[in-house]
Amino acid sequence: MLEQPTLVLNRHWVPIGTVSVRSALCLLYREAARAILPQDYSLHDFDSWASLRPEDNEPAISTVKLRIKVPEVLLLTQYGAFPRRRVTFSRKNLYRRDLYTCQYCGAKPALHDLSVDHVVPRSRGGTSTWENCVLACLRCNRKKANRTLRESGLRLTRAPREPRWSPFVTIPVAQRRTSWEQFISNEYWNVELSE
């Protein structure tokens, strides 16, 4: 129960992420946050939250003396910023950015016929970054080989760059709680990776 997620809102009531229930209770105790009761949007400090009695079917943390209702939504008392989230550079995200398409000829071959190509080859100082890696079908990758674009005669269909996809909250659907839906619209749950 202590590792379940709790939604965190900044002081402007904008969702910015999740923390574990354990961390949520620590934030409450340190007075860095207030727990929100989703039914009436009432704010609670640690003492008032601990005095709420959870119903038998509600998730709760049991201590020696009492049962504490699990906080599902927290409001930070001081933090008002929006954290900048960047898309992690990975093979999976590169495939998603390039829409499983060869960036030289535009073909959409089977997944096993696509490879990652370095626009400036690694042997010539190229690095593995968003701006230097693209998907290439095996035919185009063999044609380009260890050469630059000019030497190979190939052209990119579009310039590679870091995706601008930057949701404030990325939460697996399995961890989603019903009480969060009033704080996060469906657009947050259905984010597509695009430029």
22-73 pLDDT, tens digit each: 999 999 999 999 999 988 999 999 999 999 988 888 888 888 888 899 999 9
Q: Establish if 174 belongs to a structural domain.
A: yes
Sign for the pseudo-dihedral over CA of 42, 44, 48, 50:
positive
Instruction: State the total domains in the chain.
Output: 2
Cβ atoms within 10 Å, residue 166? 13
Q: Establish if 159 belongs to a structural domain.
A: no
53-62, 129-138, 182-191: the lowest-pLDDT one: 182-191
Residues 130 and 181 in one domain: no
**pLDDT given at position 87:** 80
Q: What is the CATH number of the domain that holds 111?
A: 1.10.30.50
User: pLDDT tens across 60-100, in order?
Assistant: 888 888 889 999 999 999 987 776 667 889 998 899 899 99
Residues 79 and 96 in one domain: no
User: At 105, which amino acid appears?
Assistant: C
Residues 73 and 96 in one domain: no
Q: Establish if 148 belongs to a structural domain.
A: yes
Q: Establish if 157 belongs to a structural domain.
A: no
Residues 13 and 52 in one domain: yes
Residues 96 and 79 in one domain: no
| Helix (H) / strand (E) containing 96 | helix 91-97
Q: How far apart are CA 98 and CA 44, in angstroms?
A: 46
0.75 cut: is pTM over it? no
- Whether 188 shows a pLDDT value over 70: the answer reads no
Q: Establish if 49 belongs to a structural domain.
A: yes
Domain that holds residue 101: 91-152
Confidence band (pLDDT; 50, 70, 90) for 2? confident
Q: Establish if 158 belongs to a structural domain.
A: no
Q: How far apart are CA 78 and CA 129, in angstroms?
A: 36
Residues 56 and 96 in one domain: no
Residues 96 and 77 in one domain: no
Residues 136 and 178 in one domain: no
